[in-house]
Amino acid sequence: MCIPHGAMHTINSGFVKEKKPKKHINKPSKDMLEKGDPDFVDERTSSYKPKKKGSFFDDLFS
């Protein structure tokens, strides 16, 4: 009689799988969505300032 490949009994190796923490993020409240996070800290070092475009001669003579 033939035994299918998956029909054999499993061998207990003693390995215990650790439970992973859930990756769920709590939904923000409606008040926080409307007014923003009160604990937010802006860590940007400088604000964005676009470069002034000048002509070739302005750059050459300045």
pTM of this prediction? 0.29
CA–CA distances in Å: residue 19 to residues 9, 12, 16, 35, 46: 25, 19, 9, 37, 43
Q: Cα–Cα distance between 27 and 33 in angstroms, integer?
A: 10
Per-residue pLDDT of the chain (62 residues; tens, 9 = 90+): 576 776 666 667 778 888 888 888 888 889 888 888 888 887 877 777 787 777 888 777 76
How many residues are there in the chain? 62
Write b or e for each residue in 8-45: b if 16 or more Cβ atoms lie within 10 A of its Cβ, otherwise e: eeeeeeeeeeeeeeeeeeeeeeeeeeeeeeeeeeeeee
